Chains A and B, each alone.
Chain A
Amino acid sequence: MTDDINTVIEPGLVRPVIEPALVCPAPINQHSQILLAHGGGGRLMQQLLDTVFLPAFANPLLNARHDSAVIEFGTTRLAFTTDSYVVQPLFFPGGDIGSLAVNGTINDLAMCGARPLFLSAGFIIEEGLPMETLQRVVTSMRHAAHAAGVTIVTGDTKVVDKGKGDGLFINTAGIGIIEHTLRIAPGTVQSGDAILLSGDIGRHGIAIMAMREGLNFESTIESDCAALAAPVLELIQAGIDIHCLRDLTRGGLAAALIEIAEAACLQIDIEESLIPVVQEVQGACELLGLDPLHVANEGRFVAFIPAGQVNQTLDILRRHPLGQEACLIGHAQHGTAGRVTLQTRIGVQRIVDRLSGEQLPRIC
């Protein structure tokens, strides 16, 4: 096994990450332009990573394809990550672009088991944005950072011409410290591992969709936007042998599990009836023809742990406000590497596929 995080691989030995022919039937050159779907967390985005970014920047840290890069300085291990936020509308039930930017980056660090410490914040502001809007976003960021115990220590501001941006974009980067010796990564997942989900899925995606022109509907659904470091650190402190963590974002539970199954070269089996979905999210999904498995989240994660620690882990998670609905949803096994299967509500097993791009509401 060479997937030890401490192993140094000479640059010359690093192979291209993926042979395109093995991954996707449609080569990227068939799209001469970037489509919105390239950012949707689906198959097109995967193509973009595989054929543009990873070949260009290939190095062992990046190739790990984890939520954060894990960097070593002597005996100190740091997690380092970045993320950009372009959400519309800027304010939505349960959060706003500011809290999302802070929590999202904290979560990327937390998914390596790191204690988040410092963030940077870069603002790309469109000319004409009301000062009051910016003030509200910044205040929200301050509160989110304070609540999670992180400090925003550096930043940048750019203003672009009217029409060249969508009000406000935010980029955040974050550094956290890893205070344990676990290797929390897809490569650590073992056959037989249990998969725990920290709560019900689909809230963020539906909360945003409710506000879209053309789709808008009344609902009381709030985004699940939250910082997940606290429950993760509690698990580590309690001695849970966490093998892998992944926060659910674009592409939903499905995309997260497929990525892990592929990176771990294992099969993942989950059961539809075990996955909590609140009735309003189900209602919206039925109405628009969406699958909750693919709907975005911003405050949920999956944990891969040894089967023997399921009860202990669930006890800890359920005591935490962010994990009250935590549950076991399935297992990893040798099976077919890279495959995720779902036992449907009527008891039949089927494949869970990555979407092409953004999930589009269907009507007919």
Chain B
Amino acid sequence: MCLAIPGKILSITDEDDDLLRTARVSFGGIVKEISLAGVPEAKLGDYVIVHAGFALAQLDEQEAQQVFTTLRQMEQ
């Protein structure tokens, strides 16, 4: 279920209403207009994970390294 992929926020529309806020999000150079209604904190340059035109969550750079850190620890 629920194909969702990470993309980078290139620009954000100027909207007072959080529900109508959208961003141009780049997926490896492919750009789509994506709703930011689910991630009101998201800023320019942030990575968000997107499903069906809707940003579900912001990606956490630090947590993203966790898999590799754990892997190194487990191998010791």
Spell out A's residues near B (CB within 8 Å).
210, 217-221, 279-280, 282-284, 286-287, 289, 362-364
Contact = CB atoms under 8 A, between A and B. Distances in A.
B3 A219 contact: no
A97 B2 CA distance: 35
Contact of A364 (B2, B5, B29, B31): B2
Contacts of A280: 28-30
Contacts of A218: 24, 30-32
Contact of A287 (B1, B24, B30): B30
A212 to B, nearest CB: 13
Given A286-B5, A363-B3, A364-B1, A279 B28 contact: yes
Given A363-B51, A363-B52, A219 B1 contact: no
A363 B2 CA distance: 6
A289 B3 contact: yes
3 A-B pairs with the lowest CB-CB distances in the bound complex, closest first: A283-B28, A280-B29, A283-B27
Interface residues of B, number: 16
A217 B33 CA distance: 8
A286 B52 contact: no
B27 A284 contact: yes
Contacts of A219: 29-31
Contacts of A286: 5, 27-28
Given A284-B27, A286-B27, A287-B27, A364 B3 contact: yes
Contacts of B7: 283
B47 to A, nearest CB: 13
A217 B5 contact: no
B3 A284 contact: no
Interface in B1-47: 1-3, 5, 7, 24, 26-32
